[in-house]
């Protein structure tokens, strides 16, 4: 049986691989490698347990380097040793994190076929590390899976040499898992907005972070804020207590299913996450994206998603704009079963 090395490191990647993993294990020896990029229990271990992912090889708990490039270099060094020991036949990566890039570069160094799920997405903001990561990964790959027609167009425009397939979005399969799990669960609160923040340009600049929280604190409904460790660290180092924001309820990082329970009941989603823009769309919830651009441009159609940029005082106004129900497309990112189709294409590539 051939071996597929699956390089994961961040919370969104654990989620994306969850629906793929059972199908992959039917035909391959699945070698999950955790780079340690997200290593805290609530950001990693909880997800492996909840999503029933096999125990991974953990390269290092909490890789701490001075820069993302140093972090990537450390991951590559450890991945080379792991690939040398386990001798995989191909490497599978997801998304656009530092772990994605490290997996892609190491596969290229080791002359291993690379498979990239969630390929072709472009925000065209080349100052974003994620944009660099996804472009390089696409062009290192032999097989790529693009979730949208626009993603395919981007790859063809860049003359990407990989085999390009459109099999839908694996996150939709994960969303359906969460929807089924939460079907009989209830929340004791209602009429609230749900907030997440983790991007470096929103969190690492204290002035920006304070402006966002100030604007959100003035909204007409309570705000549930699932706080990322990075954001928590910034507030703590600045000596800013949670009690300064009476309208915001700060929660520890939520599990995947719990996150969807809150998304399901929220009046509106406020986020700088890429994946959550789609998740809000699937829940038919209005989303305000706290960024100047998005790689998920299709969500902007019909007013289901709005880019706020740094005009945080406009958040309340944007929330008040009703989306166009007639322009909602339930199959915008494909139908269920993308995970199974992806594994089928991997089998064809490796001639199984």
Query: Residue 59: what pLDDT?
Result: 86
Is 3.40.250.10 the CATH classification of the domain at 3-168+337-349? no
With a cut of 70, say whether residue 61 has pLDDT above it. Answer: no
Lowest mean pLDDT among 58-72, 116-130, 280-294, 321-335: 58-72
With a cut of 70, say whether residue 246 has pLDDT above it. Answer: yes
Query: Residue 43: what pLDDT?
Result: 76
Lowest mean pLDDT among 215-224, 315-324, 326-335: 326-335
Range 168-196 average pLDDT: 95
Q: Report the alpha-carbon distance of residue 17 to residue 322 in Å, rounded.
A: 34
Q: Which among 58, 55, 46, 48 has a CA at the least distance from the CA of 14?
A: 48
Q: How does pLDDT run across 19-45, given as a tens digit for each residue?
A: 999 999 999 999 999 998 877 777 788
Query: Residue 67: what pLDDT?
Result: 80
With a cut of 60, say whether residue 223 has pLDDT above it. Answer: yes
Residue 173 has which token pair?
């399969």
Q: What pLDDT band is residue 308 in, cutting at 50, 70 and 90? A: very high
Using left for φ > 0, alpha for ψ between -120 and 50, and beta otherwise, residue 62 falls in left
CATH topology of domain 179-327: Rossmann fold (3.40.50)
Q: Report the alpha-carbon distance of residue 257 to residue 175 in Å, rounded.
A: 9
Q: Which among 290, 321, 294, 292 has a CA at the least distance from the CA of 216?
A: 290
Range 188-214 average pLDDT: 92
Query: Residue 340: what pLDDT?
Result: 97
**Domains 3-168+337-349 and 179-327 belong to one CATH topology:** yes
Q: What pLDDT band is residue 64 in, cutting at 50, 70 and 90? A: low
Distances (CA, A) of 52 to 15, 29, 41, 99, 177: 11, 17, 15, 21, 12
| DSSP conformational letter for 145 | E
154 and 121 Cβ atoms separated by less than 8 Å:
yes
Catalytic annotation, residues? 198
CA 34, chain centre distance (Å): 16
Q: What pLDDT band is residue 75 in, cutting at 50, 70 and 90? A: very high
- Domain boundaries of the chain, sorted by first residue: 3-168+337-349, 179-327
With a cut of 60, say whether residue 275 has pLDDT above it. Answer: yes
Residue 290's CB is within 10 A of a number of other CB atoms, namely 25
Query: Residue 40: what pLDDT?
Result: 75
Element (H, E) at 318: helix 315-319
Provide the percentage of residues in the chain whose pLDDT is more than 70: 99
With a cut of 90, say whether residue 63 has pLDDT above it. Answer: no
**Tokens 């790529």 -> residue:** 144
Residue 273 has which token pair?
């996450």
Residue 345 has which token pair?
């294409």
101 and 133 Cβ atoms separated by less than 8 Å:
yes
Q: Which among 286, 307, 285, 310 has a CA at the least distance from the CA of 295?
A: 307
Assessment of whether the complete model's pTM goes beyond 0.85 = yes
Residue 198 has which token pair?
């983790």
In a 3-state reduction of DSSP, which class is residue 261? helix
Q: How does pLDDT run across 98-115, given as a tens digit for each residue?
A: 999 999 999 999 999 999
Residue 82 has which token pair?
């792991």
CA 348, chain centre distance (Å): 27
Q: Report the alpha-carbon distance of residue 138 to residue 117 in Å, rounded.
A: 9
């Amino acid at each position: 049986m051939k071996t597929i090395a699956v390089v994961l490191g961040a919370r969104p990647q654990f989620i994306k691989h969850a629906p793929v993993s059972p199908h992959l294990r039917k035909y391959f020896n699945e070698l999950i490698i955790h780079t340690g990029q997200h290593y805290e229990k609530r950001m990693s271990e909880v997800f492996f347990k909840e999503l029933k992912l096999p125990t991974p090889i953990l390269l290092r708990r909490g890789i701490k380097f001075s820069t993302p490039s140093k972090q990537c270099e450390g991951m590559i060094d450890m991945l080379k040793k792991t690939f040398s020991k386990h001798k995989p036949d191909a490497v599978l990566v997801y998304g656009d994190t530092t772990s994605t890039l490290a997996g892609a570069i190491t596969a290229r160094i080791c002359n291993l076929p690379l498979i990239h799920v969630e390929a072709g997405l472009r925000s065209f903001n080349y100052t974003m590390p994620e944009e660099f990561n996804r472009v390089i990964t696409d062009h290192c790959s032999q097989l790529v899976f693009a979730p949208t027609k626009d993603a395919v167009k981007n790859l063809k425009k860049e003359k990407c040499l990989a085999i390009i397939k459109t099999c839908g979005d694996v996150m939709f399969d994960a969303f359906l898992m969460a929807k089924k799990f939460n079907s009989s669960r209830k929340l004791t609160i209602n009429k609230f907005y749900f907030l997440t923040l983790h991007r470096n340009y929103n969190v690492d600049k204290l002035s920006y972070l304070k402006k966002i929280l100030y604007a959100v604190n003035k909204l007409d409904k309570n705000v549930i804020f699932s706080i990322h460790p990075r954001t928590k660290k910034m507030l703590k180092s600045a000596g800013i207590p949670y009690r300064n924001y009476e309208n915001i309820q700060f929660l520890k990082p939520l599990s995947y299913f719990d996150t969807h329970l809150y998304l399901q009941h929220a009046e509106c989603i406020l986020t700088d996450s890429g994946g959550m823009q789609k998740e809000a769309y699937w829940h038919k919830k209005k989303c305000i994206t706290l960024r100047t651009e998005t790689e998920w441009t299709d969500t902007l159609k019909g007013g289901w998603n709005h880019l706020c940029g740094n005009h945080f005082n406009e958040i309340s106004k944007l929330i008040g704009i009703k989306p166009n129900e007639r322009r909602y497309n339930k199959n915008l990112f494909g139908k269920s079963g993308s995970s199974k189709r992806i594994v089928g294409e991997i089998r064809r590539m490796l001639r199984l």
